[in-house]
Amino acid sequence: MKLSDDSCYRALTARDRRFDGLFFVGVSTTGIYCRPVCPARTPRRDRCRFFVAAAAAEQAGFRPCLRCRPELAPGYAPLDSGSRRAHEIAFRIDRGALDDGGSLEALASEFGMSSRQLRRVVEAEYGVTPVQLAQTRRLLLAKQMLTETRLPIINVAFASGFASVRRFNALFRSSYRLAPSRLRKLSDQPANGPSLQLTLCYVPPLAWGRMLKFLEDRAIAGVEAVEENAYLRTAFIGNHRGWLRVEPVANEHALRVEISASLTPVLSKVLARLRNLFDLDARPEMIAEHLGSDVRLAPLVRREPGLRVPGSFDPFEISWRAVLGQQVSVRAATTLAGRVAQQFGESIETPVFALNRLSPSATRIAASETTEIAQLGIVRSRAATLFELARCAGRNGWTDKTPSQPVGPVDDLLKIRGIGPWTAGYIAMRAFHWPDAFPNGDLALRKALKVTSAQALRSRAEGWRPWRAYAAMHLWNALSP
């Protein structure tokens, strides 16, 4: 989306939440940059500079506002074809692609380009380099942790993606003209216990009840649970194991995340996965405007404002769960998923009675035998598919991250015996978090649209691009209570 400076200023004076995250405003007289929803007094037009990204504002010498806190600004999904590639790259950087030794060359190879081309694409869209984008992301996450938790500063430095405390302190001081310890003194958060709490913001509306119901119906026993108005699950990233709880914050467009202290070293990855799971970077008003032009979808869009596509915390988990869901009911697939987790998942102790198992890893399932999987009551051919899926996931590197583009992984999935267009589309939709993914041939979608063939379904869905995954969610919901 391209916005003129005048449009940005009008949105700023109106404090229109629909523009939160689309741009930032730097105020020349204070040297501070803010979100368009900042409660501070609106500056004069001639004192404002507008930026498409927080990194661009910081590169121009502005410091983040302590009132509206730019680190809480919601992200956004790709909106137009001209800048889609730059947004995809920025999305991967925001998900930590350049952390833990990640290089520009490796990231560029994911997109089939050289590191020089990647820099040029990002700079053309955001006005800053990929490294500057990553640096700003780390600084803003560190600022959030300093504000919302009492984690020791050394833990904050490493958890936000910095390789050394010295580098963290130097960049924080030079960028924000404030020592990390000084910002900590301004925070009134209580001391840390066995867990810490952080906030994840989103662009409203969010159909939380519908999201929670979808996840509850498919919750894997021992791994996931829904209690009252919250989603809970176990988690493992690398050698770190723990649990988390997510619930909405009353009267705010935000989710409160409680995370076990054991996951602190991989906190940035946990938060990124949660944004994927709850689709928090979606722009619901833009999606609704597009899908609402379809006669069949219009009443569904009005009935479910803020409907999101439930994503994944672990791409492999959604993938094997999708295989189990072939040609059986949701309830039957959920029962089988619980058995798989019990057999192949690692046990874990948590303060939540319902959470006692980690989701099985691709490595563990790939090391098993097809007969071992089939003994759980799974059809032998499907057990063989599950085994091959685990090998494919490990071999192609999407066991612990979302692929930047689903085309290659989907092609790999379709080569596995027992995985067809429906399963591959569903995995791309949820595990790979692709907004235009579509489960071709789905019987429920054909029933909702009253079409008899998969070809007719595909033809009808063409008009929903690039939001076909959201259209599918609306149609599935139309058939459920």
CATH number for position 164 = 1.10.10.60
**Has residue 190 got a pLDDT over 70?**
no
Asked if 54 and 140 sit in the same domain, the reply is: no
Kindly report the CATH number assigned to the domain that includes residue 60. Answer: 3.40.10.10
Q: Which pTM value belongs to this model?
A: 0.86
Residue 260 lies in a domain: no
Exactly one of 8, 20, 34, 412 is catalytic; which is it? 34
Region label for 285, one of left (φ > 0), alpha (ψ between -120 and 50) or beta (otherwise): alpha
* Arithmetic mean of pLDDT, 439-448: 91
- 479, pLDDT greater than 60: yes
> Which of 44, 72, 100 lies at the terminal end of a domain, its last residue?
72
Query: What mean pLDDT do residues 449-475 have?
Result: 92
For 227, which DSSP code?
E
The arithmetic mean of pLDDT across residues 26-47, rounded, is 94
Of the residues 19, 52, 72, which one is the last residue of a structural domain? 72
Looking at the fold, whether 403 and 431 belong to one and the same domain comes out as yes
Domain shared by 170 and 115, yes or no: yes
Give the structural domain span for 93.
Answer: 84-185
Segment 101-108 shows an average pLDDT of 87
User: What does the radius of gyration of the chain's CA atoms come to, in whole angstroms?
Assistant: 22
Same domain, 380 and 416: yes
Which of 99, 314, 412, 442 does the annotation list as catalytic? 442
Question: What whole-number distance in Å separates Cα of residue 256 and Cα of residue 266?
Answer: 18
Does the pLDDT of residue 16 top 80, yes or no?
no
Q: Look at residue 175 and tell me if it is in a domain.
A: yes
- pLDDT per residue over 308-337, tens digit each? 999 999 999 999 999 999 989 999 999 999
Distance between CA atoms of residues 247 and 436, nearest Å: 27
Q: Is residue 216 assigned to a domain?
A: no
Least confident range from 14-28, 92-106, 397-411: namely: 397-411
**pLDDT beyond 60 at 6:** yes
Whether residue 442 lies in the annotated active site: yes
* Bridge partners (DSSP) listed for residue 200: 255
436 assigned to active site: no
Helical axes 130-148 vs 115-126, angle rounded to 10°: 60
Given 164, 185, 206, which residue is the final one in a domain? 185
pLDDT tens, position by position, 72-100: 888 755 444 446 678 778 888 887 888 87
Looking at the 3D structure of the chain, how many domains does it have? 3
Question: Per-residue confidence at 216, pLDDT binned at 50, 70, 90?
Answer: very high
Query: Is residue 315 one of the residues assigned to a domain?
Result: yes
Determine which helix (DSSP H) or strand (DSSP E) holds 248, and give its type and residue range: strand 240-248
d(CA 422, CA 437) in angstroms, rounded, equals 10
Q: Quick one: 149 and 39 in the same domain? A: no
Mean pLDDT of the chain: 90
pLDDT value at residue 82? 42
**Three-state SS for 439?**
coil
Q: Does a structural domain hold residue 272?
A: yes
Provide the 3-class DSSP secondary structure of residue 360: coil
Same-domain check for residues 129 and 30:
no
Please name which of 284, 279, 310 lies closest in space to residue 472, comparing C-alpha atoms.
310
Choose from 89-103, 181-195, 258-272 the range with maximum mean pLDDT. Answer: 258-272
How confident is residue 404, by pLDDT bands cut at 50, 70 and 90? low
- Domain co-membership, 298 together with 441: yes
The reply to whether 342 falls in a domain is yes
Q: Is 233 helix (H, G, I), strand (E, B) or coil?
A: strand
For residues 422 and 274, state if they share a domain.
Answer: yes
Question: 104 and 66 in one domain?
Answer: no
Q: In this structure, what are the phi and psi dihedrals at residue 200, rounded to the nearest 5 degrees?
A: -120, 120
Does one domain contain both 301 and 394?
A: yes
Residue 294 inside a domain? The answer is: yes
Peptide linkage before 403 cis (omega within 30 of 0): no
CATH of the domain at 447: 1.10.340.30
- The mean pLDDT of 413-426, rounded to a whole number, is 94
The pLDDT, as a whole number, for residue 408 is: 74
Q: What pLDDT score was predicted for residue 204?
A: 92
Residue 438 and residue 318 share a domain: yes
The lowest-confidence range among 11-20, 165-174, 218-227, 424-433 is 11-20
Residue 299 lies in a domain: yes
- Looking at residue 481, its pLDDT comes to 64
Domain shared by 10 and 124, yes or no: no
